[in-house]
Structure formats: structure tokens, C-alpha cells
Structure 1
Amino acid sequence: MPQAPKDKIPYSILELATIGVGFTPTQVFKNSLDLAQKAEAFGYHRFWLAEHHNMVSIASAATSVLIGHIAGGTEKIRVGSGGIMLPNHSSLLVAEQFATLASLYPDRIDLGLGRAPGTDQLTAQAIRPDRMQAVYRFPEELHNIQRYFSSENKQAKVRVPMAEGIDMPIYILGSSTDSAHLAAKEGLPYVFASHFAPTHLFEALSIYYNNFQPSKYLKEPYTMACINVIAADTDAEAERISTSSIRMVVGVLTGKIDYLQPPTEMTPELRQISQDPALQRMMKYSFIGSKETVKKKTEAFLKETGVNEIMVASHIYDPQARIASYRIFSELMKELENAKTLN
């Protein structure tokens, strides 16, 4: 399993292929690839795609297909799933898909696994009627995938021949404490979704660190946490850009999900909405502002959590403003690294 250098904090991207009003899926996929190419040049470590279903504003439903699209258009950045929602899928088919990806793009593919549906319950039922039973079998399905990638599976009656012997890095994703226990028990890296579910972040990390059992995959705990970042040249411009994200979060909280809207000026009404306790809880780790503003918040987050790697999500309507935000974040991470403040 690839290990990050110990003298710096890698920074990575979580991409949802968010659809803004007026954009087609074709344009969104082109923009995702453009971002991945820029991210590679900026020094980002990974580019992961999330799995979501039945959401008009998110185009990353066929996650493994998009991983191939991104990996095929880049050269060295790691590409993976953040994550594959395993109870939606057959473990054998997941192994086949990711073995294919790993064969096409050697030493560049990551497999992040989660147990949430990535959608509403009605859609989850349509995806897989026995999904709740599959949720309880999550550890067993994880072991199945590991077995399919093992060289020792060659004598088994059920095989994924192209997977056997491939070193496929597997990451356990979580937004509560349940998966922390599993990741620790299995000796696998743990990724927490603090960008939308911050409540149990520190409890989950504590469970993982205190219960971690070394494995053949990982000798020491390895953690990643995701934040939202909207960075611009000034605090005022970042605040203006963030109005799209605020409207999107309100849509999620009210069950009225719509396409990502263009930004507007920060009106008194929007400012009041942004102070709503539910929205504040969900956006606790949304760092909005100039480079210096985001830098201070990011440095504090890294020191408080002690995570090995940070992942960034950004819901920004304009593709060029989004690229600029990720460029600014890469610059501030390099500045923190050079100042030796992350260790």
C-alpha cells in the first residue's frame, strides 16, 4: 500500500462532478478532467470520485467509469473512489472493475469503500432491494474483495483472475464511528467525511487510533479527513463565490436539491441563512476566504486532528474560479510545508 512521505502532509481532491445550472453532464466531465490535469500540475496527491445517485446536481453516479476517464487523461496523480458504496454492489464486480483500472493505470488506482447508500432510501432500495442485508455484510464483502486481489485465490472456484496479485490500496470511509472500528480492526487507512458530517470526527479518529491493529496492508494508522474550501484573492470574493455552496447546502437540508446556482452578492437574507445552526454544523469545516484566511484555518485543522493527509471538496459554480481555489490551496499547503508548521 502506498505510503505518503512522513515529512509533509499530502493534499488531495474529492470530486463529485457537480452540475451547475446551464451545464450539461458532458461539460461537467470535461471540467472534471481539466481540474484533475491542473491538480496534477499543482502537486495534489489524489483525485477521488464520489458515488451518489438520483441527484440532479451530481454526475458521479458511475464512479468507476469516471475514474477511468480521469486516469486516462492524467499521468501520475492517483485516482480513486471516495468512495464506492459497497452495499450497492457485488464485491466480485467491484474487484473486476478495479482490477481492470489497475491494469490500465498501474500503481495509480485507489479503492475507497463506504457503507452509506449515497442517495435516499427509496433509490437505495431500487439499486439493490437487499441492501440492508448487504450493509450488515460490509466486513464480509470487504474480505471478499481482498481475497479476489490475493494471489492465494488462484485455487478458489470463484475468482477474478486479473485481480490476483495486484496491490490494490483499500481505504475505509466513514461519517460516523462505525467504520472507525472496522478500519482499526482490519488495519486499513481511515478516511473521515468531515466536510459534511463533522460531529463525530474526533471520536472516530480516537477510536481508530486507540484500536488500530497492524496488518499486512498497514503497519501504522493512516488517516485522511475532508474539508470544504472556497479560496479566492480576497475574503470578499470568496464569500461571494460561497453563496452557491450555501444554497446547495440549504437544498440538501430541506430535501430540495437543485443544480448548483451561480454566485450572487451576500445578501442580508443569505447571511442570516448561513448562521442557521443546522447549516453551521454541516459547514463547520468549510474554509472560505483569501489564502491567508484559509491557511490559518487549515493549519489549525491539521494540528487539531493530526491527520496524515487532507482532502478537499469545493462546490464552486465557475470552473475557472474552482481551479483558482485549488491553486490557492496548493500554494498555502506548500507554504505551510516550507515553514515546517505541519509536523
Structure 2
Amino acid sequence: MSTKNIPISILELASVGQDITTGETFQNSLDLAQKAEELGYKRFWLAEHHNMISIASSATVVLMAHIAAGTSKIRVGSGGIMLPNHSPLIVAEQFGTLGSLYPNRIDMGLGRAPGTDQATAHAIRSDRMQAVYQFPEEIEKIQQYFSNDNGEAKVRATVAEGVNVPIYVLGSSTDSAHLAAKKGLPYVFASHFAPAQLFQALNIYYNNFQPSEYLQEPYTIAGVNIIAADTDEEAEKLSTSMIRMMLGVMTGKIDYMQKPTAMTPDLREIANHPSLQQMLKYSFVGSKKTVREKTEDFLGKTGANELMVVSHIYDHNDRIKSFRIFSEIMKER
């Protein structure tokens, strides 16, 4: 598979930094989306997480509307809607509305993980475990609500019927690879934080893909963490915020994103711990040259059709600069 002309996109968590308000975080997300549009990024997706003080994208659809209203070309989507948390009818109505407000610009990424801890997941929807097992059927319900053929049904999402909102299946294990292949839908793998089964999942998807009315050939998007700066040393310093954040996720001590510091021996020891190394395997930190080499290697090995970039960087301007450097890398290929 050719690795030229690979589209690049952004996954936004609306990370709330130390001494930064939620309102400022949302302003920064919109500014980033506007800059990404100028830089040629294809999509700007928002993740659904709950009960985490460091992530403000919990009302994902509301934030999507905010981003879509402030941009004009970039596709805006969910990366993803955690479907077992929601009624398929409500999801269809929300995305059908967005699809009519912003025609041919809305994507629906669907996942089955809770996006939170079990107690919060239960508070969101007490019967969600039943919905987890019905994930394939729940996707079919949404497809039916969007279909023009649903006009005679007893239950309709009238704002969705005939509206063009493509569905993407999200996964961090092999389960969703089988599902995306069987349904003939594009497949998005969360290799930016769960890389262990990346190649196994991609192989399953490529080898079992069945063409559908939605997609004729397999299409894969892979997540990577990018922290790019003028020098390797500067990027390494910026990465200390990500290291602390991921440590908090692993230990259950989640805090606001911290300001970057020098890479101390203690931090380096944490960064080199096997568990963190595994989680951040596809984190490309460094100068333009360093990030380019790591990106080329990743594309060559995965054959991904598109890259979905996550950048856990504290300072808004540093983050925009990182995305700008990465767009230059991809344009220069």
C-alpha cells in the first residue's frame, strides 16, 4: 500500500490544564480547529470521557456543534461516541441534526468502551452492559434511523433520514476489527494509548473486510501521539506533561494537565517503565527530523490510510506549533 498523500486528522480531548478554566479550554479547542483547518487537517474529532477533571469533552455532541459552527471546511466528528452510554435513537437525532446544520462535514465514530470508570458508567446508564453486548445491533439501529427506507417505521428519527453522516467503528482490541470488517465500515484503532493488538486487529480487518454500500475497500485510521518542537530536547520537556498525565491514568490519580518541567531522573525512570512504554509506544516526540523518521516507520509497518493525531501539550501555542510542524512533515513527504 502506498504511504504517500496520507490524510492527517486530530483527536481532541479538550484537556484542562492547571490554572486554565474550562471556558478557556473550549476556546483553545476552537482555535486549534481553526488553525488545523488552515493547515490542511482533514478531521477534528472529539473524544467522550466522563468524571475526569483533566478532560472537558464529556458533552461530545455539544462541543462538536461549537467546533463546526466556528469552522467551514474541516470535518467534525466523534472519536468517539461511546454507544452503550446512549440510546441509538437519540444519537441518530443528534447527529442527524448536526448533519443538516453542517452538510457533508459530520462524522460519527462509535465505540463500545465506557470512557470512564465503572461507577460512573453505571450512573450514565444502568443497563449499559446489556448494550455493550448489543453493540452490532445498536449500530444497525442507527443505520436504519438514517435510512430513507425508515419512513414507514413506527419509530423514526426524522431529522436523520437521508442525511449523510458516515459511521466509523472505533476499537482498541480485535473485537471491533471483526465487526468493522463484517459491516464494511471504516476502522479506527486507538494505537495512541492501547497499541498492544494494533497489528492483529489491522490484519483481521484487512483480511475479513466485506464491501458494503458505505465502503468498497478497507479504510483504516490509526492514532498516534505527536509532540514536535524545534529540538529533541524541547520536545522532551513538553512531553513531561503527557508522562504525568498518563501516570495519573494508570494509578487512578487523575489531575489537571501539569505544566512541563525539565526531564528529571525520576520522570525519566517513570517514562521508561515497561507499562508506560507499552501504553505510549506510538508517541513520536522530538524535532521535525525525529518525528518524521518515526512517522515513516509507523506508516510503512501499518499501511494505515490516515493518521489521527493526539497531542498532550500544556501550552496552547506549543500545541499549535506541534501540529504545524507535523503538517509540514506530511506535506513534505
Q: When the two structures are superposed, what TM-score results if normalisation uses the length of structure 1?
A: 0.96
Contact 2:9/2:43 (CA < 8 Å) preserved in 1?
A: yes
Note the C-alpha offset of 1:256: 0.4
How many residues get paired?
A: 332
3-state DSSP class of the match of 1:300?
Answer: helix
Q: Give the Cα separation in 2 of the matches to 1:97 and 1:241.
A: 37
Q: 1:271-286 maps to which residues of 2 (within 5 A)?
A: 271-286=268-283
3-state DSSP class of the match of 1:166?
Answer: coil
Note the C-alpha offset of 1:192: 0.0
The corresponding residue for 1:162 is 159
Equivalent position to 2:118, from 117, 121, 124: 121
Equivalent position to 1:142, from 139, 142, 147: 139
For residues 189-230 of structure 1, the C-alpha deviation after alignment (integer angstroms, 9 at most, x for no partner) is 000000000000000000000110000000000000000000
1:186 pairs with 2:183: yes
Equivalent position to 2:78, from 61, 81, 89: 81
Note the C-alpha offset of 1:109: 0.2
Q: Give the Cα separation in 1 of the matches to 2:290 and 2:88.
A: 43
The corresponding residue for 1:40 is 37
Q: Give the Cα separation in 1 of the matches to 2:175 and 2:285.
A: 30
1:234 pairs with 2:223: no
The corresponding residue for 1:27 is 24
5+ residue gaps, structure 1 = 337-343
For residues 276-332 of structure 1, the C-alpha deviation after alignment (integer angstroms, 9 at most, x for no partner) is 000000000000000010000001101100010001000100000000000000000
The corresponding residue for 1:175 is 172
Q: Give the Cα separation in 1 of the matches to 2:66 and 2:230.
A: 31
For residues 116-138 of structure 1, the C-alpha deviation after alignment (integer angstroms, 9 at most, x for no partner) is 00000110011000010000111
Contact 2:195/2:278 (CA < 8 Å) preserved in 1?
A: yes
Equivalent position to 1:330, from 311, 321, 327: 327
For residues 85-104 of structure 1, the C-alpha deviation after alignment (integer angstroms, 9 at most, x for no partner) is 00000000000000010111
Q: Letter of the aligned partner of 1:231 in structure 2? A: A
The corresponding residue for 1:341 is none
Contact 2:167/2:186 (CA < 8 Å) preserved in 1?
A: yes
Q: Give the Cα separation in 1 of the matches to 2:101 and 2:3.
A: 29
Contact 2:3/2:300 (CA < 8 Å) preserved in 1?
A: no
The corresponding residue for 2:6 is 9
The corresponding residue for 2:57 is 60
Note the C-alpha offset of 1:162: 1.5
Q: Give the Cα separation in 1 of the matches to 2:49 and 2:269.
A: 29
Q: Give the Cα separation in 2 of the matches to 1:264 and 1:163.
A: 48
Q: Give the Cα separation in 1 of the matches to 2:101 and 2:25.
A: 23
Q: Give the Cα separation in 2 of the matches to 1:335 and 1:240.
A: 26
3-state DSSP class of the match of 1:162?
Answer: coil
The corresponding residue for 1:50 is 47
Equivalent position to 2:309, from 290, 308, 312: 312
Q: Give the Cα separation in 2 of the matches to 1:27 and 1:313.
A: 19
3-state DSSP class of the match of 1:81?
Answer: strand
Q: Letter of the aligned partner of 2:254 in structure 1? A: I
The corresponding residue for 2:106 is 109
5+ residue gaps, structure 2 = none
Q: Give the Cα separation in 2 of the matches to 1:193 and 1:82.
A: 10
3-state DSSP class of the match of 2:298?
Answer: helix
3-state DSSP class of the match of 1:228?
Answer: strand
Q: Give the Cα separation in 2 of the matches to 1:52 and 1:14.
A: 13
3-state DSSP class of the match of 1:107?
Answer: coil
Equivalent position to 1:214, from 211, 215, 223: 211
Equivalent position to 2:129, from 129, 132, 136: 132
Across the aligned residues of Structure 1 and Structure 2, the Cα RMSD in angstroms comes to 1.0
Q: Give the Cα separation in 1 of the matches to 2:96 and 2:5.
A: 30
1:263 pairs with 2:268: no
The corresponding residue for 1:293 is 290
Q: Letter of the aligned partner of 1:217 in structure 2? A: Y
Note the C-alpha offset of 1:7: 5.8
Runs of 4+ residues deviating >2 angstroms? none
Q: Letter of the aligned partner of 1:180 in structure 2? A: A
